[in-house]
Amino acid sequence: MSYDSTPPGDAAPQLRSLRDVRILLIGDRLVGKTSLIRTLMNDKFVTEVPPRSPDVAVPPEMTLKEVTTYIIDSSFRVQDEAEIASEVGKASVICVVYAADNAQTYERVSSYWLPFIRKHSESQEVPSKTPVILVRNKSDLCEPSEADPNKETDESENALLNECWSVMQEFKEIVTCVDCSAKAVKHIPDVFHYALNSVLFPMSPLYDLDKHELKPKVLVALERVFAICDRDKDDLLDDDEVNGFQTCCFQGSEPLAAEELKNVKELIRVSVEDGLIDDKVTKPGFLFLNQLFIERGKPETTWAVLRHFGYSDDLELKDHYLYPTSLTNSQSDCSMELSEEGIVFLSNLFDTYASKEDTDNGGLSAARLQDVFAIADEYPAMFDLGASKSCSKTRFINGWRLLALMDHRMATELLSLLGFCVPFQQADPISVARAIAVSRRRVIDWETHCTSRKAFLCYVVGSASSRAALFEANNGSPFGVLATGLSARSATARMSACSAVIAGADASDIRNHSLVVFAELAPDSAAASLGSNECADECDVVVLLYDESDPASFAAAAELRALVISPGPRVLVVGTNADATTEQSVSADKFCKDKRLDTPMHLAADELDQVVGKAAALSSSPPSLSVYSESSMLVYATAAAALAIVGIVAYRRYAQK
């Protein structure tokens, strides 16, 4: 039997950094410290024991934990105070043992031993952060009404609680009190089980003993767990969702039987006023169950849930859970995009929320989009609907594809928060890296003149009026996404993303859509950006815009073309306001032909949506390195011819002299 309090302090031990746990037994002479250890090791009571047991090392495979457990005995018969004080400083957890048949040994728990621990604990804090287990040994010598060696009763548990309560209130480092008997071989494993779990599964970060409630960080974490397990997003857990939670959090566990589920619900019904609605578990009911586990001395149950959902011992989501190193260590000229697995997850998420809408078009309203991201601390800019009344599935997926391409860390963080890593009814979590596909290096695309990527980044430079017209046209598309703040170069530069269906593919399947992202370069940084290595690493097409109604516009665009790094992205020249053939358009045609660029586009204001398809086609066919090689050879040949002419002229002058 046991009753749990809470160890002090908010900081929990870092389980993953632990290599071993040291359990120290201290107490007065003849309380049975050594007998407890010998009975544990022999599984029977040993009548003759030494004054102090040698240290015992328990390997991880025997405790099914990831640490080696050391059990340390102490005795003033063979040790002095300094030696025991040294062991207190090194202990992970301390079991203070007293005898059930000797009241004086119990009185010395609070008058001597607990102050001794506080004085010599490594932390030197009051209360000490070293957890303490109170152990009442020799319970077989008590009256049957206090402790029945054959059967635990509520009366005996209450007797232990009443005996220890005042001490536990004064010394908050006491985690639990355990009733046992070495002679009767009763509850001996429990002593060491509670001691080990007090280190591996600390209660202090979870529960406020003074207020008798869960701490704020635990509430936030468990509310996220509830939201993820609520697969149909009705703010309730039905029987399937409760069993999904059961099987995914506890490896090897079977779904609850009908009678077990009934008993759980009945407990919630009588304990929490709004714990059930329509025979389904509400969020308050779910939180009550987790609090009950802790109050009944089972914090390891709640820790198992929290760790399954990615939380570390400080109740923060782990960095490797949110930001996989396999993505952060990729080459600079590799790009990120949603994988097919990521698209399927987000499609299912969209469908679940869309099923709650009353709209005829099957889209998500602004309010429903807010619900999607309520579990996260931020609302991504690309999901701001602006004047639109709803968000289609394609636009929703495109927003995520834009986020994955431009800020994969934010994408993986949000996907993790939304539950990608914990598939329904699956015991083993998966890495969020599976939601992101890393492309091969661009230099390989250039060598092979092909790419498998479906998300493309296009720099947009040139005339200010033409840039504004292009972004306005893209945002007007039913599949368009407009956002700012995703560019590291400018917090105000516009960015838009649109779909382009792969030639010959089924347009109804979002996986057959290429994503074209137009990123505006600010005029003051355009020159530096176009000539940078970053341009070669991330950009697929540079869109040079000029206004055909402005005589000076094309000359400015032509100057920008000379700044584009080589080898690097392809260049697409687009003339806007092209209502008729002008001198500007003729100059653009000749320029592109001379520079071996693709034929320029001459578009009226209502035709600018055609740029998406053209940019997608060019991005899908990366420039071959042979193009750059041929250009270089032409430069070399011209230079060689010039040198030859200079040489001939010099020779003739020399000959005349």
Closest CA to 445 of 195, 621, 242, 267: 621
Contacts 24+ apart (CB under 8 A), 296-300: 296/4, 297/2, 297/3, 297/4, 297/176, 297/194, 299/4, 299/197, 299/201, 299/202, 299/203, 299/206, 299/207, 300/197, 300/200, 300/201
The DSSP result for 456-491, as a single string, is EEEEEEE-HHHHHHHHHHHHTSTT-EEEES--SS-S
Coarse DSSP helix, strand, coil percentages of the chain, rounded to the nearest 5 percent: 45, 15, 40
For 330-393, give the secondary structure using H, E and C.
CCCCCCEEECHHHHHHHHHHHHHHHCCCCCCCCCECHHHHHHHCCCCCCCCHHHCCCCCCCECH
Q: How many CB atoms lie within 10 A of CB 580?
A: 10
Helices (H), 129-171: 154-170
Angle at 324 between CA 20 and CA 374, to 5 degrees: 105
pLDDT reported for residue 154: 52
Q: How far apart are CA 54 and CA 72, in angstroms?
A: 7
pLDDT reported for residue 295: 83
Helices (H), 181-323: 188-200, 216-229, 239-249, 258-271, 283-295, 299-308, 319-322
pLDDT reported for residue 224: 95
Question: CB of 84 within 8 A of CB of 76?
Answer: yes
Chain-centroid distance of CA 620 in Å reads 32
Q: What tokens were used for 203?
A: 């209660």
For residue 133, what are the β-bridge partners?
Answer: 95, 176
Distance of CA 202 to CAs 153, 190, 298, 341, 625, Å?
27, 16, 10, 36, 60
Residue whose tokens read 């431009």: 406
**Regions of the chain with pLDDT less than 50:** 1-17, 145-151, 153, 485, 488-491, 627-643, 645-646, 649, 651
Residues 6 or more apart whose Cβ sits within 8 Å of residue 413: 322, 323, 376
The dihedrals phi and psi of 536, each to the nearest 5 degrees, come to -65, -35
pLDDT reported for residue 474: 77
Closest CA to 392 of 369, 370, 364: 364
Chain-centroid distance of CA 178 in Å reads 38
| Side chain identity at residue 286, one-letter code | F
Q: What tokens were used for 111?
A: 């008058």
Helix (H, G, I), strand (E, B) or coil at 415: helix
Q: What tokens were used for 567?
A: 């080898």
Q: How far apart are CA 76 and CA 86, in angstroms?
A: 13
The dihedrals phi and psi of 368, each to the nearest 5 degrees, come to -70, -35
**Kind and range of the H or E run holding 60:** helix 60-63
Pairing of strands 336-338, 213-214: unpaired
Distance of CA 373 to CAs 47, 353, 416, Å?
64, 11, 12
Q: How far apart are CA 288 and CA 268, in angstroms?
A: 8
Calculate the dihedral angle through the C-alpha atoms of 98, 101, 106, 112, rounding to the nearest 10 degrees: -70
Residue 227: CA count within 13 A, CB half-sphere: 19
User: Domains along the chain?
Assistant: 2-202 (3.40.50.300), 213-316 (1.10.238.10), 320-438 (1.10.238.10), 444-623 (3.40.50.300)
| Side chain identity at residue 244, one-letter code | G
pLDDT reported for residue 484: 55
Q: How far apart are CA 619 and CA 457, in angstroms?
A: 8
Q: Is the peptide bond before 567 cis (omega within 30 degrees of 0)?
A: yes
Angle at 431 between CA 429 and CA 433, to 5 degrees: 160
Q: How far apart are the first and last CA of the chain?
A: 117
Dihedral sign for Cα 162, 164, 169, 174, please.
Answer: negative
Q: How far apart are CA 9 and CA 281, in angstroms?
A: 32
Pairing of strands 20-27, 93-99: parallel
Q: How far apart are CA 563 and CA 217, in angstroms?
A: 52
